[in-house]
Structure 1
Amino acid sequence: MKRLLGGLLALPLGALAAEPVISAAATAAPVVSAGVGGQLMQLVMGLLLVLGLIFALAWLLRRVQNTGSRQGQVIELISSRALGARDRLVLVQVGDEQILLGLTPGRITPLHVLKEPVHVPDAAQKATPEFAKRLMEVLGQQKDKP
């Protein structure tokens, strides 16, 4: 693994070392800087392309997973609340029962089975967080501008 990583890191340096040697009589500064600058630009553009591809695929995967049919699901997540960096409370519905679960990195603990189900209004389920609303407003305003 270390050899592979070292080989990948040495690739750009090997490309720089492969620059053609120009005679001492010719002025080498513009040619070498243009070659190195061009290679650096190519490296940066390739990196941006790969990062863009990763983000696009992650977005597409999230969209595809969310469009799956929810009918036939027996277990449904009603609500979730973070208690700390790694601890959560989760309210799930299984059939007609609602169960409050405590989630920690090492275990899932049922805390309480609710006798009377908690009814969550539809508007609260589909509410978008404030940051997402603001972001959509800003993106909408930028689309209007030429």
Structure 2
Amino acid sequence: MLVFLLVIAAIPAAAWLLRRGQSFGARGNASLGVAGAVAVGPRERIALVRAEGKWLVVGITPQSITLLTELDGPPAEAPAVALATPRFSDLLRSFAIRHADRT
């Protein structure tokens, strides 16, 4: 019974060690990193990757990673885009105001 409990206790400890080991590798490689990503489908995304001083735009699917373009320099900050649809809080507030007048 004691051996069974030790095996059960070792499983979360092993998982913790594996996660901890992966984070060490990510911090150690400063020449490669994902600067940002945008989902374009349920399992597809476009990512901006910094690799060895180059900026790459890549398309990522479950089956492959494809280089879309290489940028000349670091990307410029994009201007903020206005939301085409109102926020949920704004819709809820307007609904509450309309129905408060009816009561």
Q: TM-score when scaled to structure 2?
A: 0.50
Deviation at 1:83, TM superposition (A): 3.2
Could you tell me which residue of structure 1 aligns to residue 21 of structure 2? 61
Match of 1:98, SS state, is strand
Residues 97 and 83 (structure 1), Cα distance of their counterparts in 2 relative to 1, 3 Å cut: same
Gaps of 5+ in 1: 1-38, 121-146
Q: Which has the higher strand share?
A: 2
Deviation at 1:95, TM superposition (A): 5.2
Find the residue that maps to 1:55 and give its secondary structure. helix
Counterpart-to-counterpart distance in 2, 1:80 and 1:117 = 15
Match in the other structure for 1:91: 48
Secondary structure of 1:56's match?
helix
Structure whose alpha-carbon radius of gyration is higher:
1
| Higher helix proportion | 1
Q: Shift in Å at residue 89 of structure 1?
A: 1.0
The amino acid of 2:62's aligned partner reads P
TM-score between the two structures when normalised by the length of structure 1 = 0.39
Instruction: Give the 4+ runs in structure 1 shifted more than 4 A.
Output: 94-97
Q: 1:52 aligns with which of 4, 8, 12?
A: 12
Shift, 1:97, TM fit: 4.3
Using the TM superposition, give the Cα deviation of residue 48 of structure 1 relative to its aligned residue in structure 2, in angstroms. Answer: 2.9
The letter of the residue matching 1:56 is W
Q: In angstroms, what is the RMSD of aligned CA positions?
A: 3.0
- How many residues align? The count is 77
Larger relative contact order (Cα-Cα within 8 Å, sequence gap ≥ 6): 2
